[in-house]
Amino acid sequence: MFESRRLDGIIAAMFESLLPPAPEPMKAWLFTTLYGLWCAIGASGVVIGFWKHGTSVRLGLICYAAVFVLALYFFVEARVRRPTQRDVGARCFILFVLGYLPTFVHWTFM
């Protein structure tokens, strides 16, 4: 009976070592800088687009406004719960696609 408990502890420890480690959260200054930069890009895209073209370029205004709002949301949400590197990468990819969409549509259908 003593051997059984000891063996169970060894087997449990062996299987626990096979589990992948939990993802580590990103450093606070890194995601703060990234999301702050995306907020600035979105806000400047809206202001410059409206200043140059008025409301005639609706796709650009909508995309840059979405970049600004999403980056602000990601920033606030990251302050509450620190994101992992994978979370930050996925969110920055979404912001990049939204920021690049007006240029892609303009050059594709021009």
The answer to whether residue 28 is domain-embedded is yes
The answer to whether residue 90 is domain-embedded is yes
* Mean pLDDT across 73-86: 87
- The DSSP code for 88 is H
* Mean pLDDT across 76-87: 86
- The DSSP code for 84 is B
The Cβ of residue 54 has, within 10 Å, a number of other Cβ atoms equal to 9
Q: Closest Cα partner for 25 from 90, 89, 82?
A: 82
pLDDT of residue 104: 87
The answer to whether residue 91 is domain-embedded is yes
pLDDT tens for 49-59 read 888 877 777 88
The answer to whether the CB of 42 falls within 8 A of the CB of 94 is no
User: In 1-110, where does DSSP find H-type helix?
Assistant: 2-16, 28-53, 58-80, 85-108
pLDDT tens for 1-50 read 445 555 566 666 656 666 666 666 667 777 788 888 989 999 998 898 88
- Which one is predicted more confidently, 73 or 84? 73
pLDDT of residue 2: 47
- Grouping H, G, I as helix, E, B as strand and the rest as coil, residue 10 is helix
The answer to whether residue 58 is domain-embedded is yes
The number of domains in the chain is 1
Question: How far apart are the C-alpha atoms of 28 and 83, rounded to whole Å?
Answer: 9
The answer to whether residue 3 is domain-embedded is no
pLDDT of residue 30: 78
Question: How far apart are the C-alpha atoms of 44 and 90, rounded to whole Å?
Answer: 22
Question: How far apart are the C-alpha atoms of 18 and 21, rounded to whole Å?
Answer: 9
The answer to whether the CB of 99 falls within 8 A of the CB of 42 is yes
Domain that holds residue 59: 24-108
The answer to whether residue 11 is domain-embedded is no
- Residue 101: is its pLDDT beyond 80? yes
